[in-house]
């Protein structure tokens, strides 16, 4: 089948590469000329395990193409996937300008029956606005379907190849059959429903996961106050099959390009329909508080931070990605700089992205040991595997003061204390 993918970010590029690998002829369209030029040569705009190999293989096999030109592939495509960003606007609602522009541009080139499948996370009912926008432009028969994406950055290829479920939102049998055929080689439960329910599934799923994280953080904060151990408490809670341990880990809060904006958009949707989503407002506010609590822990351990050298380990919003959008590290570093601290930072892959958004005074190092040398505290923000395996005896020798503030509870408190560190985790002492 010939497929067009509009938007070559995490979702679009992964989806395109996977369908190409299944034997389809896939054209990935993006307005970013530099990105398309680089991708045509197999250079990826971001780090994602396994993706580069997949993209290069399918370019060589002449199944995966990159273009800025909608007219090259949309007229011959049976399915056009829309995968552009839907960031939050200033009111917290989803900014739909990229979506409107992408669908309008695609509509100018439709030829023959075409299914426009929306993978971007979009507010419920947006297809009505899209219909209004393009009904005069498209001279051919088209249908909309919602096909929300659930991949996680850091394991996007694996997730997209082995989804838990494939949600197809459409009332049209023809559209559903087309998508079912495209996904026939992938496992996962098929959920065929109306368009609005499909859109709602995506927001509700992300909101639930964020709620689990904030719940874990709230419990951890109370554990700290009562001298209980949050790790064992949450293990005890999460081992109940009805609850599950996934996403029930305390830390410095969630970030990334999805949870923060999707929670805000869901709250805004509630407001539009006169539903006060107090639960998600609390989830949001617990999440922001975690940043302040973390900075307070640093102050508690070191006193006044003016002139203190601190080593931040981990900048990306989670391991195995170089994405720093809404990363807790960025807010934490800004707050520490405001208090006069001097920051040295290390991350395995996201330093280039971090340089673009952090002030010049932040020093980036090429390995964790250099970052830790002469520092008064190790601040663990992102739980990359390489931080779990640090030679802590060496770390202690290099540091000016042996303090670890562990924002992800990756170290064993008893062990690090035995090595002579002053240790503070989240929800445990
Ligand atoms: N990143 C994730 O983990 C993830 C997971 C599931 C769902 N989603 C959702 O999928 C959507 C895309 O997310 P992403 O992270 O892949 O976005 P992204 O920001 O990484 O990429 C979006 C791409 O779309 C391009 N674009 C914008 N307007 C365009 C236009 N008119 N025509 C062609 N290209 C255009 C941009 O240049 C960019 O390359 C969002 O709605 C997001 O919420 C993301």
The pLDDT of residue 135 is 84
* The predicted structure's pLDDT at residue 145: 97
Please list the residues that pair with 172 across neighbouring strands: none
CA of 131 to the centre of ligand 1 (A): 21
Does the structure show a pLDDT above 90 at 43?
yes
Residue 429: what pLDDT?
73
User: pLDDT value at position 360?
Assistant: 97
CA of 102, closest atom in ligand 1:
31
Biggest CA–CA distance in the chain, Å, is: 73
- How high does pLDDT run on average in the chain? 97
Burial of 236 per CB tally in 10 Å (0-12, 13-18, 19+)? exposed
Distance from Cα 10 to the centre of ligand 1, integer Å: 7
The model carries a pTM of 0.96
Q: How confident is the model at residue 362 (pLDDT cuts 50, 70, 90)?
A: very high
What is the share, in percent, of the chain residues with pLDDT greater than 70? 100
Q: What is the pLDDT of residue 336?
A: 98
Give the binding-site residues of ligand 1, using a 6 Å CB cut-off.
Answer: 6-12, 29-32, 35, 83-86, 98, 101-102, 105, 119-121, 149, 151, 153, 257-258
Centre of ligand 1 to C-alpha 317, Å, is: 17
pLDDT bucket at 137, cuts 50 / 70 / 90: confident
Nearest CA, atom 4, ligand 1: 11
Atom of ligand 1 nearest to the CA of 45: 39
State the DSSP H helix or E strand holding residue 165, giving kind and residue range, or none if neither. strand 165-169
- The pick from 4, 6, 7 for probing ligand 1's pocket by mutation, whose C-beta has the most ligand atoms within 8 angstroms, reads 7
Catalytic residues: 258
- Binding residue ranges for NAD(+): 30, 35, 86, 121, 153, 261, 325
Return binding residues for substrate: 150-153, 202, 247-251, 255, 318
For 284-303, what is each residue's pLDDT tens digit? 999 999 999 999 999 999 99
Q: Which residues are annotated as a binding site?
A: 30, 35, 86, 121, 150-153, 202, 247-251, 255, 261, 318, 325
Q: How far apart are CA 317 and CA 101, in angstroms?
A: 29
Residue to mutate, 5, 15, 30, ligand 1, most ligand atoms under 8 Å from C-beta: 30
pLDDT reported for residue 371: 98
Portion of the chain with pLDDT greater than 90, in percent: 97
27 has which bridge partners?
Answer: 4, 65
Q: Is the pLDDT of residue 139 over 80?
A: no
Q: Which helix (H) or strand (E) holds 144?
A: strand 142-146
Give phi and psi for 257, each to the nearest 5: -85, -5
Question: Of 9, 18, 33, 34, which is best to mutate to test ligand 1, by the most ligand atoms within 8 angstroms of its C-beta?
Answer: 9
The domains located in the chain, with CATH, are: 2-196 (3.40.50.720), 259-424 (3.40.50.720)
Mean pLDDT of 224-245: 97
- DSSP assignment of 375-412: -SEEEE-S--HHHHT--HHHHHHH-SS-EEEETT--S-
Pairing of strands 114-118, 142-146: parallel
Give the count of alpha carbons within 13 A of 348, CB side only.
14
pLDDT number for residue 423: 97
Ligand 1 atom closest to residue 11's alpha carbon, by position in its atom list: 16
pLDDT on residue 35? 98
Is the distance from CB of 224 to CB of 240 less than 8 angstroms?
Answer: no
Is 393 buried (19+), middle (13-18) or exposed (0-12) by CB count in 10 A? exposed
Question: Ligand 1 centre and the CA of 311: distance in Å?
Answer: 32
Q: What band does 126 get if pLDDT is binned at 50, 70 and 90?
A: very high
Residue owning the nearest CA to atom 21 of ligand 1: 9
> For atom 19 of ligand 1, which residue has the closest CA?
85
User: Which residue lies with its CA nearest to atom 36 of ligand 1?
Assistant: 7
Residue-wise DSSP of 17-79: HHHHHTT-EEEEE-S-HHHHHHHHTT--SS--TTHHHHHHHHHHTT-EEEES-HHHHGGG-SE
Q: Kindly give the distance from the C-alpha atom of residue 118 to the centroid of ligand 1, in angstroms, as a whole number.
A: 11
- pLDDT (0 to 100) of residue 140: 78
User: What distance in angstroms lies between residue 83's CA and the mean position of ligand 1's atoms?
Assistant: 5
Mean pLDDT of 149-169: 97
Average pLDDT, integer, range 149-158: 97
Average pLDDT over residues 340-355: 98
Is 90 exceeded by the pLDDT of residue 388?
yes
**Confidence check: pLDDT of 321 > 80:** yes
Residue 164 contacts residue 188 (beta carbons within 8 Å)? yes
| Distance set, CA 133 to CA 68, 106, 126 (Å) | 22, 12, 11
């Amino acid at each position: 089948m010939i497929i067009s993918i509009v938007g070559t970010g995490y979702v679009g590029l992964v989806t395109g590469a996977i369908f190409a690998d299944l034997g389809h002829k896939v054209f990935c369209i993006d307005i970013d000329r530099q990105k398309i030029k680089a991708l045509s040569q197999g250079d990826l705009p971001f780090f994602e395990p396994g993706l580069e190999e997949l993209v290069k293989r399918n370019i060589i096999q002449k199944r995966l193409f990159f273009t800025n030109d909608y007219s090259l592939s949309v007229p011959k495509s049976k399915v056009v996937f829309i995968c552009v960003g839907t960031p939050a606007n200033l009111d917290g609602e989803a900014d739909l300008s990229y979506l409107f522009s992408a669908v309008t541009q695609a509509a100018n080139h439709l030829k023959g029956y075409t299914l426009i499948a929306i993978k971007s996370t979009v507010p419920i009912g947006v297809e009505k606005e899209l219909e209004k926008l393009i009904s005069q432009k498209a001279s051919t028969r088209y249908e909309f379907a919602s096909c929300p994406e659930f991949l996680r950055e850091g394991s996007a290829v694996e997730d997209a190849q082995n989804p838990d479920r494939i949600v197809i939102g459409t009332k049209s049998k023809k559209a559903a059959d087309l998508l079912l055929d495209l996904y026939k080689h992938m496992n996962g439960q098929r959920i065929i429903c109306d368009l609005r329910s499909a859109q709602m599934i995506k927001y509700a799923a992300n909101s639930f996961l964020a709620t689990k994280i904030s719940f874990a953080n709230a419990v951890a904060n109370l554990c700290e106050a009562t001298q209980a151990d949050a790790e064992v408490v949450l293990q005890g809670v999460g081992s109940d099959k009805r609850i599950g341990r996934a996403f029930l880990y305390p830390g410095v809060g969630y970030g990334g390009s999805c949870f923060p904006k999707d929670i805000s958009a869901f709250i805004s949707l509630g407001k539009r329909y006169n539903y006060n989503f107090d639960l998600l407002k609390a989830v949001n506010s617990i999440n922001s508080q975690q940043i302040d609590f973390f900075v307070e822990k640093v102050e508690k351990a070191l006193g006044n931070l003016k002139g203190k050298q601190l080593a931040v380990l981990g900048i990306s919003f989670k391991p195995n990605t170089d994405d720093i959008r809404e990363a807790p590290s960025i807010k934490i570093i800004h707050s520490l700089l405001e208090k006069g601290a001097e920051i040295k930072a290390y991350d395995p892959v996201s330093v280039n992205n971090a340089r673009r958004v952090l002030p010049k005074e932040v020093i980036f190092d090429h390995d964790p040991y250099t970052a830790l040398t002469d520092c008064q505290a190790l601040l663990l923000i992102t739980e990359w595997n390489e931080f779990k395996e640090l030679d802590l005896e060496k770390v202690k020798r290099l540091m000016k003061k042996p303090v670890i503030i562990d924002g992800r509870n990756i170290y064993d408190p008893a062990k690090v204390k035995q090595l002579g560190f002053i240790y503070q985790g989240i929800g445990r002492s």
